[in-house]
Structure 1
């Protein structure tokens, strides 16, 4: 029986194509060029950042990352992204303040404590009891592979 699911961040919770596109734009190269190089270095068993080093051999990736952030061109979410969190002050309010759609998750102590708070209910675009409620939210594309907890089996791949 599965008791816990732990999710990877890259390409699981976030889309790496947006990350690579931002780097390509920053470096002034076509997006498909950087994407292709990422594929090449991954197949070769190397670090993704080696794709950037192939384009700019003397680059200090960490320093360049900081420069992108300082210039306002770093990692970002936008109004098409849904931020799901249980804590109003740490999750829902800051995400809503920068224009993200938000879902307050009634899970864990914070989620339950704040579930009926009027301000949380007004600020959050959605209130959900489980991550399994996500596919049912209006305007949210289907989430393939999310298995309903009441269903046994499902595809394994």
Structure 2
């Protein structure tokens, strides 16, 4: 883990946040998908947890529930049937309760704040509508690259406007978030929540990161 002395030495000037299970509680999204697919919510949430435990991505859960499902086509059909609903999206009610106070405290400390993740355009619009106290909100489509590619973290550094070693990157996964951020020279912070966060925090390679249980730990940490 990063020690307190090392954090001070790095002179962090910007914090970049992942989205899903870092800022946004995705529970309601997966519950609505379970209802849509005709399985119990426990079943679908359990399968997502199984994907996290076996290093598979979420599409594997859809394949287990309904083999051969065209998820994009299902999303289009869902949008046509329920154009005004949240469906597989989120809104301000899905923010974790520590998000706004933590961002406000970090902003008071004079840190530049950026939200950047692998998110579709609809999610980007939802985040921008929340009036969060941040300087930039971008998604992978706008940046032209996705996590965990080095290009994504280089683009994030450009958004932050400071050197990579002056950036703390906060996410819930070692593979997509904190390890590639560390490789890019950033300070990696792993938040232990959501299925990936809890599982990945127990892995040996998570020791390269500072592990937190709440975003409210960040103001003192930085």
TM-score band (shorter)?
Answer: 0.5 to 0.7
> TM-score, normalising length from structure 2?
0.39
1:33, CA displacement in angstroms? Answer: 0.2
Q: Quick check: which one's helix share is greater?
A: 2
Cα gap change, 1:52 to 1:12, in 2 (>3 Å): same
Task: Spell out, residue by residue over 1:72-123, the C-alpha distance to the aligned partner (whole angstroms, 9 max, x if none).
Answer: 25234457457x8xxxxxx8xx94xxxxxx5474868xxxxxxxxxxxxxxx
Structure 2 residue 215 is the aligned partner of structure 1 residue 145: yes
1:49 paired residue number: 59
Cα gap change, 1:107 to 1:59, in 2 (>3 Å): closer
Asked if 1 retains the 8 angstrom alpha-carbon contact of 2:48 and 2:58, the reply is yes
Q: Point out where structure 2 has 5 or more consecutive residues left out of the alignment.
A: 1-9, 101-124, 137-212
Which has the higher relative contact order, 1 or 2, with Cα contacts under 8 A spaced 6 or more apart? 2
Asked if 1 retains the 8 angstrom alpha-carbon contact of 2:25 and 2:94, the reply is no
Q: Point out where structure 1 has 5 or more consecutive residues left out of the alignment.
A: 85-90, 96-101, 109-142
Point out the structure with max Rg over C-alpha: 1
> TM-score, normalising length from structure 1?
0.52
1:35, CA displacement in angstroms? Answer: 0.6
Describe how 1:61-100 pairs up with structure 2 within 5 A: 61-72=71-82, 73=85, 74-77=87-90, 80=93, 95=129
1:3, CA displacement in angstroms? Answer: 2.2
1:36 paired residue number: 46
Distance in 2 (CA, whole Å) between partners of 1:39 and 1:61 is 19
Asked if 1 retains the 8 angstrom alpha-carbon contact of 2:51 and 2:57, the reply is yes
Task: Spell out, residue by residue over 1:19-68, the C-alpha distance to the aligned partner (whole angstroms, 9 max, x if none).
Answer: 11011010111000001111112211111111011010020011112222
Q: Quick check: which one's strand share is greater?
A: 2
Structure 2 residue 40 is the aligned partner of structure 1 residue 27: no
Q: Helix, strand or coil: the match of 1:5?
A: strand
Distance in 2 (CA, whole Å) between partners of 1:71 and 1:4 is 42
Cα gap change, 1:79 to 1:42, in 2 (>3 Å): closer
